[in-house]
Amino acid sequence: MSVSPSFKAFVLEQLSAVTPVTGRAMFGGVGVYAEGLFFALMDDDRLYFKVDDTTRPRFVGAGMGPFDPFKNGEQVMNGYYEVPGEVLEDEDRLPEWMREALGVAARAKKPAKRKKK
């Protein structure tokens, strides 16, 4: 699990054209954040967006698969799907895909529990 500096820079530049993003090292990969939300990750020079049952069909229809951190099919993370390279490079299509991933992340974010006094 690794991300080359050039791929990381390219992805962050592409995504930042839509909205400001930051990348943080995470288990050998990179977690991508925007608007206070963890919505994407990079691993092995591939970008994965957060998905749910509503957005997953778009990725499957594009022939993309889920994030498989150990490349063994045993611990597949169906909550993140690979972004097609042509979408990552397309300034017209990328914003829509990215906003959908941000929406999924926002819906998945649970409000902090308040402590009872």
Tell me the backbone φ, ψ of residue 83, rounded to 5 degrees: -85, 130
Report the C-alpha gap between 101 and 95 in whole angstroms: 10
Q: What is the pLDDT of residues 34-89, one digit of tens each?
A: 999 999 999 999 999 999 999 999 999 999 999 988 777 777 888 999 999 999 99
> For 1, what's the count of Cα atoms within 13 Å in the CB-facing half-sphere?
17
DSSP 8-state class, residue 25: E
Q: In what order do the strands lie in the sheet with 37-43?
A: 22-26, 29-34, 37-43, 46-50, 77-82, 66-67
Task: Supply the pLDDT for residue 24.
Answer: 94
> What architecture (CATH level 2) is domain 5-106?
2-Layer Sandwich (3.30)
- The pTM assigned to this predicted structure is 0.89
3-state secondary structure of 34: strand
Structural domain boundaries of the chain?
A: 5-106
